[in-house]
Amino acid sequence: MNTSTPSPRTPCIHPSILNADFANLARELSRISTADAVHVDVMDNHFVPNLTMGLPVVESLRKATDLPMDIHLMIEDPDQWAPQYAELGCESVTFHAEAAKAPVRLARELHARGTKAAMALKPATGIDQYLDMLGELDMVLLMTVEPGFGGQAFLDLVLPKIRRARRAVDDLGGEIAIQIDGGVNAETILRAAEAGADTFVAGSAVYSAEDPDAAIADLRGLLTG
């Protein structure tokens, strides 16, 4: 066990384009130029009750921005589909623990294709059973709403899980990011950061603002000020 004090990670803001204007996605990407990455929610209307975008749209988005792409797959059978997003040049691909048949093998396959591997957990999914595979991952995404729709309220019941993940990552001594997604705003981001999250997906808090880049700066200022 690593008993040294870990170096704090620089907080990262990943705006979700789920709350953007889908008719003008290239323009919407240009409005978040100061983001650390763009969060792209891929939903299949099977794993979650919503349908968004797939490989062709993500391929077009990849050509429209130089921002790193943080792909969140809320789909059935990520074992088949996740590597294809890596092949598009997306910098990070997240699959759900509840959907992956062989999560360790999938994480290694993503790494072999040159992308970061991340695993997401729904609010009710415990993290303890996955702690042994943290070393295979670059990021853990702890959903702070039920996946499927934007604009939901932050679930404080996930805070203890964030704390457990933070302790496990610190004990491991690695550079594994702890991301949260859902209900992130100027109030909830501080609670999540205190619990140990360091990477924040913000949808409506960014895209409902008149100036999304200014909203990103405000959120970042709360975390670093």
- Known catalytic residue at 21: no
User: Which residues does 148 contact at the CB level (< 8 Å), separation at least 6?
Assistant: 43, 48, 49, 50, 74
96 annotated as a binding-site residue: no
- Known catalytic residue at 36: no
- Active-site residue (options: 36, 41, 138, 198): 41
Nearest-angstrom CA–CA distance, 164 and 216: 27
User: Which residues does 125 contact at the CB level (< 8 Å), separation at least 6?
Assistant: 97, 98
- Active-site residue (options: 44, 70, 138, 181): 181
149 annotated as a binding-site residue: yes
203 annotated as a binding-site residue: yes
60 annotated as a binding-site residue: no
173 annotated as a binding-site residue: no
Nearest-angstrom CA–CA distance, 52 and 22: 10
154 annotated as a binding-site residue: no
Residue type for 116, please? K
39 annotated as a binding-site residue: yes
204 annotated as a binding-site residue: yes
The token pair that represents 137 in the structure block: 């991952």
Nearest-angstrom CA–CA distance, 73 and 50: 12
Q: Which residue ranges are tagged as binding site?
A: 16, 39, 41, 72, 148-151, 181-183, 203-204
Detail the residues annotated as belonging to a binding site for substrate: 16, 72, 148-151, 181-183, 203-204
Binding residues for a divalent metal cation: 39, 41, 72, 181
- Residues that are catalytic: 41, 181
